[in-house]
Chains A and B, each alone.
Chain A
Amino acid sequence: MRRLARIEGLPIILVFLLVLGLFMLTAPNVFLRPNIYTTFLSTLPPLVLLAVGLTFVIGAGEIDLSFPAVIAFAGFVFAVLFKEWDLGWVAVAAGLAAGLLVGVVNGVLVAVVGIPSFIATLGTQFFWAGMATVLSGGKSYALRGAESSTVWQGLVGRAELAPGVAGAWQNDLSIQALWTAAIVALLWAILNRHRFGEHVLFLGDSKDVARVVGIPVERETIKLFTLMGGLAALAAMLLTLENKNFFGNQGQGYLLTAIASVLIGGTSIFGGRATIVGTVFGCFLIGMIEAGLVASGLTGALVRTVQGLVFLAAVVFYLLVDEPHRRAALLARLRRQRG
């Protein structure tokens, strides 16, 4: 029993399976067919990359609100170089560099200048989103014919496991899911087994302790935000390529969903505890709610409401389960009110 409880992300995995079962009952013609799952392979990766990066950031007791702007800015840099200059993989490298740059700036503002990350990244969010709008002149870039490029095929192409069978789901397996899975596995190892991951968790636990045990706090904080910037840039490029279109506010829907995925997964809002497995299942759940509510015949307008509700319920749940002293404080408050 204790062994079972140690499985990383167990609560969220159970909830995920429960909700999946529920949708299989309410919308069997969608959730009992393979196509919805192959669709997830091409729509979820950007969310997963963002949420996994945020798992590090939140685990370190920080927050990054600037990633929607990175999706705009890095997406723009990539799109313009790819389309107007026809630079192919160089455009990919430039898009990645743009994201890393935003990350470094965030890191320096937080670690060296000493601005709380909430404020610092709120500011850079406006700055880089504004930058993208100014540079693109508010235009969107349609990447027509992108699917014939090696960039498109290499990053978001489809693996054809049933060649010649038109419309078979086996031919709709998106490569980006493969890349995402590899990156997630690597980041799991870094968080749980690498020196950097351990430093991130100690930073989230207490900055004072981190300093006293000899962790280079400033350097690790800059690395942390740089990692997030890079992942957001990657998400931006997958998104732009998959849609074959860049538009300025393509990142905006991700702010709530990415943060919610992390916290639903069981990473502590107070830092010091973080789970990649939980985050990935959190993404699955958030993505599935969207598809499932619509497929079950409910209005799409409910999606955000339900996601917000799940988000809050999860945060309260983890607060009570994982933070014994906070649970005790809450119970004491309730008792005082009754007495």
Chain B
Amino acid sequence: MAGTGRADAGGFAHIVRLEGVQKYFGAVHALKDIDLAVGRNEIVGLIGDNGAGKSTLIKVMTGVLAPSAGTIHVRDRAIDPAEYSVRMAHELSIETVYQDKSLGEKQPLWRNFFVGRQITNRLGFIKVAEEKRIAREILTKAIGFRGVGIGVDSTVSQLSGGERQGIAIGRAMHFDADLIVLDEPTAALAVAEVRKVLDFVRRIKESGRACVYIEHNLAHVHEVADRLVVLDRGRIVAEMAPAELSVAELTEYLIELQRAADGAPAEAGR
């Protein structure tokens, strides 16, 4: 499963690239002139205050929302925004792990692994034995769940927060995603659980994939990201390597940004 040499395959520079993307919700200009490229084996940390447009940006990137203007390139090829959808993103090997929204609580793990792309016969009946066998493999090999009383028939509601993120990330890796988008995977998790999730993020990088990682906790994203992108009121205002700034300096920088925004309210209405 740990696909080494993945980065050599195929010939493209960026797994996804947004150019001049705008997004309006009615009169609200939620994304302004977004230019963002994600390399094939890098972890991009997306940071910014509440309402900065982080979630909107990844929704546009993954086909949940259509951009109002601008272009999206996947593997250096332009995509027709009208046709771009979650399904198409899946087909293009882009997977998203939303906080609390990626797994069906009451459903067994094996169904959660395959829902949306079940292994079926021609009539649409699910090959349960095969799905369970593969799910068992993902569980023990890719995610590393052993013992702890969790099997493919366990329901999601029996799992801890960190285990849930692990399942969702493991599913994305199994389906050979080239880009995995994580939306605040460590929110509301205990410390030990956070460590597990950060380990999963490192695994994404080790297996040669790319990752866009939205995070509120600057220490977490600083620890794993290759590049940090700062979003402020719908605009990308800075890009930096974590090595350039310590967590404390980064925090200071964001507070400064916030203060500047409060001091210049006219900016927000523009």
Residues of A near any B CB (own CB < 8 A)? 189, 193-196, 198-199, 201-202, 205-206, 208-215, 268, 272-273, 324
Contacts and interface: CB of A to CB of B under 8 A. Distances in A.
13 contacts: A195-B125, A201-B107, A201-B111, A202-B104, A206-B101, A210-B104, A211-B64, A212-B86, A212-B102, A213-B115, A214-B117, A215-B116, A272-B104
Interface in B88-111: 90, 96, 98, 101-107, 111
A202 B118 CA distance: 13
A189 B124 CA distance: 11
B126 A193 contact: yes
Given A205-B107, A215-B115, A193 B125 contact: yes
A215 B105 CA distance: 16
B217 interface: no
Residue from A194, A201, A210, A212 with most neighbouring chain B CB atoms (10 Å) = A212
A324 B158 CA distance: 10
Contacts of B157: 324
B175 to A, nearest CB: 11
B87 interface: yes
B223 to A, nearest CB: 26
A195 B87 contact: no
Contacts of A202: 104, 107, 111, 115
B120 interface: yes
Chain A interface mostly: helix
A210 B111 CA distance: 12
Nearest to B85: A214
A324 B105 CA distance: 12
B105 A213 contact: no
Contact of B90 (A189, A208, A214): A214
A206 B115 CA distance: 13
B159 to A, nearest CB: 13
Interface in B52-74: 64
A157 B118 CA distance: 41
Contact of B106 (A193, A213, A273): A273
Contacts of B101: 206, 208-209, 212
B2 interface: no
Interface in B119-146: 120, 123-126, 128
3 A-B pairs closest in CB distance: A214-B116, A205-B104, A272-B106
A272 B105 contact: yes
Contacts of A212: 64, 86, 96, 98, 101-102
A209 B86 contact: no
A140 to B, nearest CB: 42
Given A209-B101, A212-B86, 19 more contacts: A193-B125, A194-B120, A195-B120, A195-B125, A196-B124, A198-B111, A202-B107, A205-B105, A205-B107, A206-B101, A206-B104, A206-B105, A208-B101, A211-B86, A212-B64, A212-B102, A213-B115, A214-B86, A214-B87
